[in-house]
Amino acid sequence: MTAIRSKPLRRRKSPLGSRWTPYLLFGPAVLYIVVFQAVPLLQEIWLSFTRTSLLNPGRSVWVGISNYTTVFASESFRQTLLTTLLYVIVCVIGAVVSGLVVALLLNAKFPGRGIARALVTVPWAAPGIATALIATWMLNAQYGIVSRTLNALGLGVGGGGILDNAELALPAILLTTIWQLFPFVSVVLLSALQSVPEELVEAAKMDGAGRAWVFRVVTWQVIKPTVGLVALLITIWSLRRFELIWLMTRGGPLGSTRTLVIDLYSQAFDSKQLGTAAAIGMVGIMISLIVIVGARFVTRATERES
Amino acid sequence: MLAVLVVLGIAVFPLYWIFTTALTSDSELFGSEPRLIPDLSRFPVFIEALVDGQTLIWLRNSLIVAVGTTVLSIGLGIPLGYALSRFSFRGKVAIGVLLLFTQMLPEALLVVPLFALFRQFGLLDSLQGLILADTAFVLPIVALILKGAIDGVPRELEEAARVDGARPLGVLLRINIPLIAPSIAAAAVIAFFSAWNEYVFAVTFVFDKSLQPASVGLAGFIGEQGTQIQTIMAVAFLFTLPAVAFYLFAQKYVVSGMTAGAVKG
């Protein structure tokens, strides 16, 4: 007897519910992001072509690209760009190199490895304000442990302390930032290191290969893409980082720690110039986009090579 | 291994120093011989820091904002992650780009338009406003993590449930969610501490002292002369401890949750 089917089995394109299901699922979230991020961004773009005061934000005067020309012509913005460039480059190199070293160290087997791996995340987990507070205290000219140690070693910095010194403030901020960032790099690279085939490493060592050779030929090849990804991430993040610098130096002394984001915020809330602030912000976004696009090119190019 | 100990020392020292400074007497702090080991007999300074002044209020505010952000971002993120994982629809690529693009945007940039928006809707000086702002920034990460996790759930399980007559949405989510629980936990931890640590929105949108989260309260101590450094450090420690403790506890899940999202996404 032939089986009687009451309803033929249908193959649906969407696996469940009506075709509206996906929209219901992602709709609220996407709408949320659009309202709280995309729309403000569009507003910022518009603001960048106006002269608007924080005190009277309803009244905007259209000034075309004059904010941009003023900004690019200004000496102080050139300083901002240079400072930002320096900041980003040192952050990335510092965080990636130190993170990689720590990841390699933590990859070895030793007792208490689990605890070590957990403890190393402390700088990443600590709130930025707490880090800023303790760093400022440690760098306090008279009583901070760093100043005291330096003085004891004869490397005294003199009167105002490190954060008031136009040449030392940025390095101090950079060291603090790298301290915050390296755990993230370590943790990600540590996972990547798990993919390195141990048998290859062991075999190479048994053939008498030196550690450097093993690293260069085996390990590095495996983790290279992850290192690239992490470096890109840190680069983009560096262009956004605000808290630590704002809390520790406000961009001073003499603008030596004034990065793009600090400049932006200062223009908006200190100088009350929303238009200029927006223009600076847009420059920052452009730079981020260039970095991302550039990174994709580099990745494609290196992939084609291998 | 010596190198590991050095690294751990560097990682942990500032936190240790917060703790130690809180427990140091004035004469030792400002004298010529700085104290390196905390004086545990001065422990009451933490109790005082907790009870006096604004500390409890600050911590309460931080807690409210963090919990609110976590709930809202997970609530929006699970459906979003699920949609991105299981469906193809028009605009899917655009949404993916949007999510990644938002990672580039600095809070300091969006603070001004958001300020205007919040003022219009009376959301300034409110914890709800902070929850809304913080969620917006953490939602993309949460969604990407959860999408990656859901990608890892075999579709056969969902098929089987459907064949068994499961109603499409509700029960299917009840299959997926238990399976991706670690990633949900990881995303929740990330969302929680993203909001707990948040400073820029908090300092810009909230002026009412009784509504300030601890991040703003603590920031007020920088450069201010009135409060004792030990008290400041004690409050800082109380604020930092939950964040660090949780990360230490949850870091295994956070890492696997994040890398699952990053690798698959």
| Whether residue A194 sits in one domain with residue A290 | no
Give the whole-angstrom CA distance, residue A42 versus residue A53.
18
- Give the domain extent around B227: 53-264
Same domain, A55 and A134: no
Is pLDDT of A238 > 70?
yes
Q: Are residues B126 and B2 in the same domain?
A: no
Chain A CB contacts of B82 below 8 Å: 25
Domain shared by A306 and A220, yes or no: no
- Mean pLDDT score, B221-235: 84
Are A124 and A196 part of one and the same domain? yes
Are B191 and B63 within one domain?
yes
pTM assigned to the model: 0.87
What is the model's pLDDT at position A216? 81
Higher local confidence (pLDDT), A277 or B161: A277
Instruction: Map tokens 């089995």 to a residue.
Output: A9
Q: How confident is the model at residue B94 (pLDDT cuts 50, 70, 90)?
A: confident
A147 and A257 belong to one structural domain: yes
Q: Does a structural domain hold residue B122?
A: yes
Q: A50 and A173 in one domain?
A: no
**E strand or H helix at A189:** helix A169-193
pLDDT, mean of residues B16-38? 82
CATH number at residue A112: 1.10.3720.10
Give the C-alpha separation, A169 to A154, whole Å: 19
What is the interface pTM, i.e. ipTM, of the complex? 0.86
| Whole-number pLDDT of residue A13 | 43
Based on the fold, state whether residues A150 and A106 are members of the same structural domain.
Answer: yes
pLDDT 10s digits, A36-83: 999 999 999 999 999 988 888 778 889 888 999 999 999 999 999 999
Same domain, B21 and B100: no
Among the ranges given (A10-14, A33-37, A213-217, B257-261), the one the predictor scored with the smallest mean pLDDT: A10-14
Residue A226 pLDDT > 70: yes
- Is residue B133 a part of any domain in this protein? yes
Residues A279 and A244 in one domain: no
Within chain B, what is the greatest distance between any pair of CA atoms? 77
Number of domains into which chain A is organized: 2
State whether A236 and A109 are in the same domain.
yes
Domain hosting residue A89, numbered range: 81-269
Whether residues B28 and B100 fall in one domain: no
Assign 3-class secondary structure to chain B: CHHHHHHHHHHHHHHHHHHHHHCCCHHHHHCCCCCCCCCHHHCHHHHHHHHCCCHHHHHHHHHHHHHHHHHHHHHHHHHHHHHHHHCCCCCHHHHHHHHHHHCCCCHHHHHHHHHHHHHHCCCCCCHHHHHHHHHHHHHHHHHHHHHHHHHCCCHHHHHHHHHCCCCHHHHHHHHHHHHCHHHHHHHHHHHHHHHHCCCHHHHHHCCCHHHCCHHHHHHCCCCCCCCCHHHHHHHHHHHHHHHHHHHHHHHHHHHHHHHHHHHHC
- Cα gap B146→B78, rounded to integer Å: 6
One domain, residues B178 and B104 = yes
Asked if A179 is an interface residue toward chain B (Cβ–Cβ < 8 A), one would say yes
Element (H, E) at A266: helix A260-269
Contact A146, A139 (CB under 8 A): yes
Same domain for A255 and A156: yes
Residues of B in Cβ contact (< 8 Å) with A38 = 98, 102
Statement to judge: residues B166 and B239 lie in one domain: yes
Minimal-distance CA residue of chain A relative to B29: A143
- Given this model, what pLDDT does residue A88 score? 96
In the structure, what pLDDT confidence band is assigned to residue B252 with cuts at 50, 70 and 90? low
Name every chain A residue with its beta carbon within 8 A of the beta carbon of B168. Answer: 16-17, 21
- Best of A9, A12, A21, A37 to substitute, by most chain B Cβ atoms within 10 angstroms, is A37
Strand ranges (E), chain A? 50-52, 60-62
Same domain, B28 and B60: no
Residue B185 inside a domain? The answer is yes
Question: Does one domain contain both B137 and B16?
Answer: no
* A289 and A187 housed in the same domain: no
Task: Name the DSSP letter for residue A163.
Answer: G
Q: Kind and range of the H or E element at A73?
A: helix A66-73
Whether B180 maps to a domain, the answer reads yes
Q: What is the pLDDT of residue A14?
A: 43
Token reading at A70: 């003023």
DSSP state of A53: B
Q: Please check whether residues B138 and B19 belong to one and the same domain.
A: no
For residue B264, the model assigns a pLDDT of: 40
- pLDDT at residue B167 tops 60: yes
Q: How far apart are CA B43 and CA A41, in angstroms?
A: 48
To test the contact with chain B by mutation, choose from A7, A26, A248 the residue with the greatest count of B C-beta atoms within 10 A, namely: A26
Q: Which of B2, B5, B7 best tests the A interface by mutation, with the highest count of A CBs <10 A?
A: B7
Same domain, B9 and B97: no
Q: Are residues B156 and B230 in the same domain?
A: yes
